[in-house]
Structure 1
Amino acid sequence: MTQTDLISPVAVFDAGIGSYSIVARIREKWPQKDIVYLADRASFPYGRKDSDALGQVMLRTIHFLEGYHPSSIVIASNAPSIMVLETIRDKVKTPLAGVTPPLAEAIEKSKTGHVAIMGVQSLVESVMFADFIAPFAGQATVSGLNASPAIDHVENGDFLFKPDVTQATVDRLVSEIRAADPLIDVLTLSSTHLPWLRDYFERAAPDCIFLDPADAMVEQLDIGPMGHGRIHAIATEAPGYEIAEFERMLARIGVDLTLEKVSF
């Protein structure tokens, strides 16, 4: 498949496997929309980069994807969406969308006024994260929680093939959450990996509500004209993050895609 086979595709990218959940949601809502799906394995992981490094990676990647003449580009990762999206928006021509914690919805659904945002460590400990939650300070008690140990179980496929190990990690994380603030009753799954673990979290904390940030983003997406319902899957790679292994990871979650190698 070439660029000319696609009609104003929406481009979706991330460094890990979690972002495919966004592709699946777009396909479900708009079956005829063409999609460019990029797995930027050469930049894995986004979640352990600082804001300067993330900004450079985002601009380089977006400028590459603009070569497909997309109707919009989705940064399918919570960390760069919070940390750098607004600083780079005016540096690109294409409409950008990001995935951010649905904090207003979490506060609305909470009965206790105590909510939590789960994400990677670099996100929840960043200045930008503090700025993101600051406007809500008078409405609720908002905590940022490092969920990286659970996220690792998605990247390595444990959540499919080692459910007991995955559940044990999630149980420990939930125990830590309850110890930090036992009143928390709504949590956002603010890494695109975490929705794959939703069943695990709901088993560990059946009395809590878990929200997926992708829901609101997909509803608000500037989707543009329809095409032929094609997915053009591409990927970068680096030693230790080869495309063949990523294809095997996708296959484990029931996704049969052949990725074309690109570099930029």
Structure 2
Amino acid sequence: MDTAAPIGVFDSGMGGLTVLQAIRKALPQERLLYIADSGHAPYGDKSPEYVQQRALTLTRFLLEQGVKALVIASNTTTAAAADLLRSTFPVPIVAVEPALKLAVSSTKTGVVGVLVTVVTSQSTRFAALLERFRQDRTMIVQPAPGLVEQIEAGDLTSATTRALVERYVRPLLTAGADTIVLGSTHYPHLRPLITEIAGPEVLLIDTGEAVAAQLRRVLESRALLNQDQLRGDEQFWTSSDTQLARHVIPLLWGDAVDVQQLPEAFR
């Protein structure tokens, strides 16, 4: 495999940009390809079978682009399809999972809140993860329907978004949580609003840096790190309306970018 080959990253929409930002910071020389599958978002209210089919389709597209590794930047997709993708495709695959281990070691009150999508909350993989890291801590799982849609629209601060965050975060605080796991890659985009509501003393944990570190370890172990000293570039695709994506992705990414529409066969 050519070490200069790109890394493919996909999510149900814009959420995985938080993971992409962490990868860019950790691996500045790598070429990055990102798919926002916004035409099928949110994955959180889809069946596992539906999510699996989208994951297979997007992975095939990225393999056609010659990627040397794949990152599943979606907790919902990890829960539904990570094992399937790893058994189907030969490239190394790094997947995100809610950062429960770090949360358990960080809490002082012994109460951890976990914000997740509905599909993640119901998955056997997530249940096993909870059981593995629960130890003697109280883990309060809070499904958060509606938040992904607000972020997909680029709406991070409106009264509607604030009301949803209040609805999902307030019960965690009432129960004594001093640590909240942002169990969807979309949710870190709402970090300022969540901090405003929860207070600065509540620790918010996401998985971007951990995923980037694991990706680096995988590339190193397979001698796939790009040795070029120049900064890598990024390419973006969407399965939805490009006009909306060309507005929202730069807003969340923090820089001007071009966004292409996925070919029809992969939409």
TM range (shorter): 0.7 to 0.9
For 1:195, what is the secondary structure of its paired residue? Answer: helix
Corresponding residue for 2:236?
233
SS in 2 for 1:200: helix
After TM superposition, give the deviation of residue 112 of structure 1 in Å.
2.2
User: What's the counterpart of residue 80 of structure 1?
Assistant: 77
Shift of 1:103: 0.7
> Which residue pairs with 2:207 in the alignment?
213
Q: 1:195 aligns with which of 161, 185, 188?
A: 188
Structure 2: any 5+ residue segments left out of the alignment?
none
In structure 1, give the amino acid aligned to 2:81.
V
Paired residues of 1:151 and 1:193 also in contact (CA < 8 A)? yes
Q: Aligned with 2:180: secondary structure?
A: strand
Structure 2 matches for 1:1-264, cutoff 5 A? 7-159=4-156, 162=158, 164-179=159-174, 182-206=175-199, 207-221=201-215, 222-223=218-219, 224-226=224-226, 228=230, 229-236=232-239, 241-253=240-252, 254-263=254-263, 264=266
3-state secondary structure, aligned to 2:16:
helix
Shift of 1:9: 0.8
Q: Report Cα offsets for 1:134-154 as digits up to 9, x if no partner.
A: 223433222211123333332
Q: What amino acid is aligned across from residue 54 of structure 1 in structure 2? A: V
**Alpha-carbon separation, structure 2, partners of 1:193 and 1:235:** 16
State whether residues 8 and 225 of structure 1, in contact with CA within 8 Å, keep that contact through their aligned partners in structure 2: no
- 1:40/1:168 CA distance change after superposition, 3 Å: closer
Secondary structure of the 1:255 match is: coil
> In structure 2, how many angstroms separate the alpha carbons of the residues matched to 1:174 and 1:143?
11
The Cα shift of 1:99 comes to: 1.1
Distance 2:243 2:15 in 1: 17
- Evaluate the alpha carbon distance shift between residue 225 and residue 126 of structure 1 in structure 2; reply closer, same or farther with a 3 A threshold: closer
Unaligned runs of 5+ in 1: none
Paired residue type of 1:70: V
Q: Cα gap change, 1:41/1:174 in structure 2, threshold over 3 Å: closer, same or farther?
A: closer
CA contact (8 A) 2:15 2:185 kept: yes
Decide whether the 8 Å contact of 1:82 with 1:132 is kept in 2.
Answer: no
CA distance in 1, matches of 2:26, 2:134: 34
Structure 1 length as normaliser, TM-score? Answer: 0.86
Change (3 A) 1:252 1:137: closer
Deviation (angstroms), 1:82: 2.2
Q: Percent identity?
A: 26
Q: Determine the C-alpha separation between the residues in 1 that align with 2:152 and 2:237.
A: 18
Paired AA for residue 262 in structure 2: V
Whole-angstrom CA distance in 1 between matches of 2:51 and 2:101: 26
Provide the rounded CA distance (Å) in 2 between the counterparts of 1:177 and 1:34.
Answer: 39
Q: Report the CA distance between 1:195 and its aligned residue.
A: 0.5
> Residues 148 and 186 of structure 2 are in contact (CA less than 8 Å); yes or no, is this contact kept in structure 1?
yes
In 2: Cα distance, 1:63 partner to 1:190 partner: 26
The CA RMSD measured in Å over matched residues stands at 2.2
Length, aligned pairs only: 252
Query: What letter matches 1:259 in structure 2?
Result: V
Specify the SS of the correspondent of 2:127: helix
What amino acid sits opposite 1:11 in the alignment?
G
Query: 1:86 Cα shift?
Result: 2.1
Name the CA distance, whole Å, in 1 between partners of 2:171 and 2:149.
17
